[in-house]
């Protein structure tokens, strides 16, 4: 099962070839290249220059629980959450990770009892992010095991529930669903940013995961962070990363810090300059793409998309429904394997079964470069059978 690898061996990155056969549109993974043009026009302002003598030591701040967290990144994270109002950082420890993927594993390590008779159950409500089962089980850990859809979990045993809000793949806002009292919650808030969803209040959970991959689009820098209430859990997560990779690239951390600070600066000065802020740009682009994909899908009876309630965003003041990073497309009618059906039309997507859901559904990335997205909105309505 792929995380980033595509589901088809013919899945080369797509480019318009202008030839007779339609090009492959590869929207299987959520590579956030759609923000590239915004960052191109920023130029110097967000460029980081590093000399060969810099960032040599393993250590960043030995007084901090997370001793490899660069102080500049810590303040940039706190400031951005304050500016956006999407998470409480007061009284929290920040743990930096090589993407939030590493922090997911660090959280499982920290939350699973090390002296238990069996591995800890890990659940998330279907449709869940397809990497959770893979990341939970690939080392066949004695500490934790994937226990599937949280909606049907009814064992009288301890569990960790992943709450992804807005959710990957379907974009809905979520709360925990398991009714038991033996659970520990981890909130994956990768998409709780104002280009994807109205911000309603600062998230205030025990363990919250964020990432630059989906907030700013810098997936290649591999920087994520956890906001952790409990000091002992933050320490254990730090220990996991210490054993796993002895810290997190300082070059990446400083690059991320520079970008987060530039976003906060532009939001703070939004009324004084004509320059568009990152969240204005990304919101408008997402809104435009959702308008276009809905128009494309409405032209045919073959597909449908979820609808979202309108809410007012406390950050932007705009009233809108979710603009998810993925389109959770349903094949209506006779087709029961939507992924294979679309692959026949040279559109590569990720089928529902990877998310613990029906094969009638596929997940389509909304975060590609413009040319690929345009091809999608042209090709979808042209499909007849
Ligand atoms: N959580 C969710 C819900 C995601 O969609 C992703 C990225 N696809 C991640 C975590 C991992 O992000 P990162 O690039 O920071 O490892």
The CATH class for the domain spanning 55-268 reads alpha beta
What pLDDT sits at residue 180? 79
Whether residue 17 has pLDDT greater than 50: no
Report how far ligand 1's centroid is from the alpha carbon of 247 (Å): 19
- d(CA 2, CA 129) in angstroms, rounded, equals 12
* Fold match between domain 25-39+277-382 and domain 55-268: no
Burial class of 206 by CB neighbour count within 10 A (0 to 12, 13 to 18, 19+): middle
The band of 3, judged by pLDDT with boundaries at 50, 70 and 90, is low
Whether residue 5 has pLDDT greater than 60: no
Instruction: Indicate whether residue 100 lines ligand 1 (CB < 6 A).
Output: yes
Instruction: Indicate whether residue 129 lines ligand 1 (CB < 6 A).
Output: yes
Report how far ligand 1's centroid is from the alpha carbon of 274 (Å): 33
Q: Give the global pTM.
A: 0.94
Helices (H), the chain: 36-42, 71-84, 99-111, 131-137, 212-215, 231-245, 250-268, 278-298, 338-344, 370-382
The CATH class for the domain spanning 25-39+277-382 reads alpha beta
The band of 10, judged by pLDDT with boundaries at 50, 70 and 90, is very low
Instruction: Indicate whether residue 99 lines ligand 1 (CB < 6 A).
Output: yes
Per DSSP, the three-state class of 267 is helix
pLDDT (mean) for 70-79: 98
The 10s digit of each residue's pLDDT in 229-268 is 999 999 999 999 999 999 999 999 999 999 999 999 989 8
Q: Which of 39-43, 324-328, 373-377 has the lowest mean pLDDT?
A: 39-43
Report how far ligand 1's centroid is from the alpha carbon of 100 (Å): 6
- Ordered DSSP codes for 25-74: EE-SS---GGGHHHHHHHGGGG-----TTTT-SS-S-TTSSSTTS-HHHH
What pLDDT sits at residue 20? 63
- d(CA 166, CA 170) in angstroms, rounded, equals 8
Give me the residue spans of the domains in the chain: 25-39+277-382, 55-268
Instruction: Indicate whether residue 168 lines ligand 1 (CB < 6 A).
Output: yes
The 10s digit of each residue's pLDDT in 289-312 is 999 999 999 999 999 999 999 999
The band of 22, judged by pLDDT with boundaries at 50, 70 and 90, is confident
Quote the percentage of the chain above a pLDDT of 70: 95
The 10s digit of each residue's pLDDT in 142-196 is 999 999 999 999 999 999 999 999 999 999 999 999 997 889 999 999 999 999 9
Whether residue 225 has pLDDT greater than 60: yes
Quickly count: other Cβ atoms within 10 Å of residue 351's Cβ: 23
What pLDDT sits at residue 272? 73
What pLDDT sits at residue 12? 45
Helix 71-84, helix 250-268: angle, nearest 10? 30
pLDDT (mean) for 87-110: 98
Instruction: Indicate whether residue 219 lines ligand 1 (CB < 6 A).
Output: yes
- d(CA 162, CA 187) in angstroms, rounded, equals 6
The 10s digit of each residue's pLDDT in 167-179 is 999 999 999 999 9
The band of 11, judged by pLDDT with boundaries at 50, 70 and 90, is very low
Report how far ligand 1's centroid is from the alpha carbon of 298 (Å): 30
Strongest mean pLDDT among 36-45, 313-322, 334-343, 376-385: 313-322
What pLDDT sits at residue 14? 47
ipTM of model: 0.99
The ligand 1 atom nearest the CA atom of 129: 3
Instruction: Indicate whether residue 277 lines ligand 1 (CB < 6 A).
Output: no
- d(CA 369, CA 16) in angstroms, rounded, equals 12
Report how far ligand 1's centroid is from the alpha carbon of 360 (Å): 24
Q: Which of 89-103, 169-183, 317-331 has the lowest mean pLDDT?
A: 169-183
Q: Which two tokens stand for residue 344?
A: 């026949």
Instruction: Indicate whether residue 220 lines ligand 1 (CB < 6 A).
Output: no
In degrees to the nearest 10, what's the CA dihedral of 192, 198, 202, 205?
A: -50
Q: What is the mean pLDDT of the chain?
A: 93
Report how far ligand 1's centroid is from the alpha carbon of 37 (Å): 22
């Amino acid at each position: 099962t792929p995380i980033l690898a595509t589901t088809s061996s013919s899945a080369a990155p797509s480019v318009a070839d202008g030839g007779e056969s339609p090009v492959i549109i590869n929207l299987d993974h959520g590579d956030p290249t759609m923000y590239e043009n915004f960052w191109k026009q920023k130029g110097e302002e967000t460029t980081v220059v590093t000399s060969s003598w810099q960032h040599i030591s393993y250590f960043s701040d030995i007084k901090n629980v997370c001793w490899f967290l660069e102080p500049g990144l810590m303040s940039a994270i706190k400031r951005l959450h304050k500016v956006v109002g999407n998470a409480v950082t007061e009284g929290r420890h920040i743990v930096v990770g090589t993407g939030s993927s590493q922090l997911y594993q660090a959280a499982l390590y920290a939350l699973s009892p090390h002296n238990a008779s069996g591995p800890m159950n890990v659940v998330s409500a279907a449709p869940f992010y397809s990497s959770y089962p893979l990341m939970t089980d690939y080392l066949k850990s004695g500490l934790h095991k994937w226990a599937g859809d949280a909606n049907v979990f009814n064992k009288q045993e301890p569990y960790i529930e992943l709450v992804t809000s807005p959710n990957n793949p379907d974009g809905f806002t979520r709360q925990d669903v398991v009714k038991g009292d033996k659970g520990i919650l981890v909130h994956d808030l990768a998409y709780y940013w104002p280009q994807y969803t109205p911000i309603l209040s600062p998230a205030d959970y025990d363990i919250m995961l964020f990432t630059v991959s989906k907030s700013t689009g810098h997936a290649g820098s591999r920087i994520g962070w956890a906001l952790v209430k409990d000091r002992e859990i933050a320490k254990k997560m730090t220990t996991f990363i210490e054993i796993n990779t002895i810290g997190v690239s300082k070059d990446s951390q400083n690059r991320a810090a520079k970008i987060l600070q530039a976003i906060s600066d532009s939001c703070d000065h939004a009324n004084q300059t004509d320059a568009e802020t990152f969240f204005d740009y990304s919101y408008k682009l997402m809104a435009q793409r959702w308008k276009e994909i809905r128009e494309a899908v409405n032209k045919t009876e073959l597909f449908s998309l979820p609808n979202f309630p309108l809410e007012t965003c406390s950050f932007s003041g705009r009233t809108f429904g979710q603009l998810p990073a993925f389109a959770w497309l349903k094949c209506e009618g006779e087709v029961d394997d939507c992924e294979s059906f679309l692959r026949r039309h040279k559109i590569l997507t990720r089928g529902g079964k990877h998310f613990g859901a029906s094969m009638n559904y596929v997940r389509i990335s909304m975060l590609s470069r413009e040319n690929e997205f345009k091809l999608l909105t042209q090709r979808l309505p042209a499909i007849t059978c």
